[in-house]
Amino acid sequence: MIDGYKISKEYAGKQMVAVPGSKFNEEGNTICLYKGEEMAIKKHQSLSCRSFPNKYGSGGYTLHYYIWEPVKTNKQMFLLNEL
């Protein structure tokens, strides 16, 4: 979890989650779990995206940022949208 102000002033006061680009499936979806809550995430709905160099010099990685909005039925809604 990341404080929103660290991403942008417009997200101040919000909890954000950063998801590495490698964690999305072929359809561009993933599920984040945090303290027993979950949030279904679609890659194309990211609020911000930043690339960073790998500290070991082998390429880099990209983080996609989202506002943390867990909903108990979010996983079920996510699966229904995939049908």
> Which tokens hold the place of 81?
């949208």
Does 77 have pLDDT greater than 60?
Answer: no
What's the pTM value of the predicted model, to 2 decimals? 0.74
Reported as a single tens digit per residue, the pLDDT across 45-73 is 888 899 988 888 778 899 999 999 887 55
| pLDDT digit string, tens, across residues 1-16 | 888 888 888 889 999 9
Q: Which residues contact 34 (CB under 8 A, 6 or more apart)?
A: 1, 17, 68, 70
pLDDT at 72: 57
pLDDT digits (tens, 9 = 90+) for 31-45: 998 888 889 899 988
Angstrom distance (rounded) from CA 29 to CA 41: 6
